[in-house]
Amino acid sequence: MSSRHERSAHPNHSTQRSRIASTAARLMAEDGIADFAFAKRKAARSLGLPDSTPMPDNAQVEAELRTYQRLFQDEEQTARVRHLRRIAVEIMEIVQQFSPYLTGSVLDGTAGRYAEIDIQLFADSAKDVEIFLLNRHMDYSHSTPRTDRAEAVLTLQTEAATINLIVYPPHEERVSLKTRDGRTRERARLPAVRALLEATA
């Protein structure tokens, strides 16, 4: 059973987590940082807090990010998300044979400055996708997968956006993929992304 002293040993942890979350959210919104863990570490350092400080979870940072974007970047944010979703639709139309799904910040509406578009593909082999892109003269580079489940990440660089095509084996399409903090990673097929675009037109 916890003693009264143990229960009150860290009265500032909740406040510290809140400060880190709001600072991390500002960094993500203003500097275009996409990695939650990096944003939280950088926020803690900027606040002069030690590395051992308890960190907020990603959901808390995401909530702060939505609030910051709504208060300080509302028109810019709306235009950015609409622009990136439009590009996502164009790419998804091209790669329809690989069952594309939009995921990440462009889908959930929290895309910060310099955000990249993440599209999941499902193919027997990443080579099939590479050949497909080469046949259409679409230049790509290899990026490091963020999960062991992905076979490859093929990155398209355009003047308008960076698009990551994350290639998974076909059986992974039936699996609910998780974010690093254990939440279900939301994803949407082409018709749903088109509907999102129409709703903000």
Q: For residue 186, what is the domain's CATH number?
A: 3.30.460.10
What are the two backbone dihedrals, phi and then psi, of residue 122, each rounded to the nearest 5 degrees?
Answer: -130, 115
Listed in sequence order, the residues at least 6 apart from 64 whose beta carbon sits closer than 8 Å to its beta carbon are: 21, 22, 24, 25
Q: Tell which residue, 28, 20, 29, 70, has the closest CA to residue 47.
A: 20
SS3 92: helix
SS3 141: strand
What residue numbers bound the domain in which 53 lies? 4-72
Tell me, yes or no, whether 121 and 26 share the same domain.
Answer: no
Burial, 39: exposed, middle or buried (Cβ in 10 Å; 0-12, 13-18, 19+)?
A: buried
Last residue of one domain, picked from the residues 72, 92, 110: 72
The pLDDT of residue 2 is: 44
Tell me, yes or no, whether 103 and 186 share the same domain.
Answer: yes
Burial, 28: exposed, middle or buried (Cβ in 10 Å; 0-12, 13-18, 19+)?
A: buried
Parts of the chain with a pLDDT under 70: 1-11, 179-181
Tell me, yes or no, whether 180 and 195 share the same domain.
Answer: yes
User: HSE-up of 55 (CA within 13 Å, CB side)?
Assistant: 19
The pLDDT of residue 180 is: 66
Last residue of one domain, picked from the residues 72, 92, 113: 72
In total, how many domains does the chain have? 2
**Which pLDDT tens digit goes with each residue over 44-99?**
999 999 888 999 999 999 999 999 999 988 888 899 999 999 999 999 999 999 99
> What is the β-pairing status of strands 162-168 and 152-157?
antiparallel
Q: Is the pTM of this model over 0.85?
A: no
The pLDDT of residue 5 is: 42
